[in-house]
Amino acid sequence: MKNSILKLTVGLFLCFGGLNAQSFQRGQMDLDMGVGLGNTYIGPGYSNSTPPLNVSFNYGITNDISLGGYLGFSQATYTYAGWDDCGQGHGNGQYYVDTYKWTYIIAGVQGDFHFGRFIKIDKLDVYAGLLLGNDFAHSAYFTTSVCPDHIAYLEPTYGGFVAAPHVGARYRFTDHFGVFLELGYGITYVNTGLNFKF
């Protein structure tokens, strides 16, 4: 009888103890690999030639705070076509296609606060934080026109400082593998993908 009670007590402790475990702990390492929905850098008429891709690595410096690095990449294109006579007025002239291409790379560090002590679900890691980094942007221009007035009017390189807040959640199917969803203003508005915990 005593053995049965002891087994039941240990079983209940393991069961409910697991539910109260923090989802994030000091020394924990997370690798997120994601794809974005909704590029923050392009508007109507543009298209994604490469969808927003990103990877981040975070290390738990306390049970509540992590610090890590972030790298995001995306490309966008804009195409315009028409007829041009090079200003000579000789009929419709030639058919041309102008193509503008932008490449965006965001690199930086991010810090997150994890809400594991408030949301006691061991498989769910809810967090919020800030990305600080730089946008390394580049533009290129291509045309099929032979007219000299078809010249690029964009700067070949531009970009600058980035401060992007975000909120997110990771859900783990096992101790080391899961998925994540993040909302913010980095390389994309919505970011989702795979999470690997070490």
Query: Domain range for residue 66?
Result: 23-197
In a domain, 4, yes or no: no
More confident residue, 127 or 78: 127
Nearest to 73 by CA among 100, 56, 50, 57: 50
Number of domains comprising the chain = 1
For residue 28, being part of any structural domain is answered with yes
**Tens digit of pLDDT for each residue in 21-46?**
568 899 999 999 999 886 656 655 66
Evaluate whether residue 31 is within a structural domain: yes
Question: In this predicted structure, which of 14-18, 53-57, 118-122 has the lowest mean pLDDT?
Answer: 14-18
Looking at residue 86, the DSSP 8-state letter turns out to be T
Residue 75 lies in a domain: yes
Model pLDDT, residue 155:
61
User: What is the domain-level CATH number for residue 61?
Assistant: 2.40.160.20
Statement: residue 93 has pLDDT above 90 = no
The answer to whether residue 87 is domain-embedded is: yes
pTM comes to 0.75
- The residues, any chain, with a CB within 8 Å of residue 185's CB and separated by 6 or more, are 40, 164, 165, 166
Instruction: Decide if 10 is inside a domain.
Output: no
> Considering the domain boundaries, does residue 16 fall inside one?
no
* pLDDT, mean of residues 155-171: 86
Band of residue 90 on the pLDDT scale cut at 50, 70, 90: low
Please tell me the distance from the alpha carbon of residue 55 to that of residue 57, in angstroms, as a whole number: 7
Domain contains 86: yes
Report the percent of the chain where pLDDT is more than 90: 43
Phi and psi for 79 in degrees, rounded to 5? -125, 135
Q: Output the average pLDDT for the chain.
A: 81
